[in-house]
Amino acid sequence: MTDARPSPTLALLRRARRAELALAAAFDPHGLTIRKHDVLRAIHATPGLSHGELARRVGVDVHGVGTLVRALVEADLVRERVPAGGHAPSLTATEKGGRVLGAIDARLRELDAELFPGADGDELAAALLADTTPASAPPQD
């Protein structure tokens, strides 16, 4: 006999997949992924970050951060300034990077309202993130 009750786990995964597809549609025109977005967001929030500090903040190893930063620099979303004297490079978001974050934020607000109507977004996000750590591997379809 099967349990006829709806599964909150399956419902959450279906909702998450819908959100993932909508977010990909918002990220793709800017060449962003979730990790690139996280890196850009951290750089925008704290200009002058080093690669090491950025890696700690976003939970990616330094080599991975380097790859992500190079992609963001090539897309003109981030500027990397290498000071003389062998000091660590500092990172800042470009004006274009700020505009892209603004567009993504607007789409996220729309998506939050669409996917979670009537819900208190901050409270819901806190509850969903309370017991999570960054995934070590991508989800399997």
- d(C-alpha 11, C-alpha 78), whole Å: 37
In this prediction, what percent of the chain has a pLDDT beyond 70?
A: 87
The whole domain housing 83 covers 17-112
The reported pLDDT for the residue numbered 140 is 45
Task: Please indicate, yes or no, if residue 25 is contained in any of the structural domains.
Answer: yes
- d(C-alpha 36, C-alpha 27), whole Å: 10
- d(C-alpha 66, C-alpha 63), whole Å: 5
The reported pLDDT for the residue numbered 139 is 47
Task: Please indicate, yes or no, if residue 120 is contained in any of the structural domains.
Answer: no
**Rounded to 5 degrees, what are φ and ψ at 61?**
-65, 160
Per the structure, the count of domains in the chain is 1
Task: Please indicate, yes or no, if residue 139 is contained in any of the structural domains.
Answer: no
Task: Please indicate, yes or no, if residue 3 is contained in any of the structural domains.
Answer: no
Q: pLDDT category, 134, cuts 50, 70, 90?
A: low
Model confidence pLDDT, tens digit, residues 76-121: 999 998 877 777 778 999 999 999 999 999 988 888 888 777 767 6
Q: CATH number for the domain including 37?
A: 1.10.10.10
Task: Please indicate, yes or no, if residue 78 is contained in any of the structural domains.
Answer: yes
The residue written with tokens 């200009």 in the block is 47
Of 4, 83, 2, 92, nearest to 40 by C-alpha is 92
Task: Please indicate, yes or no, if residue 101 is contained in any of the structural domains.
Answer: yes
Of 40-44, 80-84, 127-131, the least confident: 127-131
- d(C-alpha 126, C-alpha 123), whole Å: 5
Task: Please indicate, yes or no, if residue 141 is contained in any of the structural domains.
Answer: no
- d(C-alpha 68, C-alpha 110), whole Å: 27
- d(C-alpha 121, C-alpha 116), whole Å: 8
Give the residues across from 80 on adjacent strands: 91
Task: Please indicate, yes or no, if residue 93 is contained in any of the structural domains.
Answer: yes
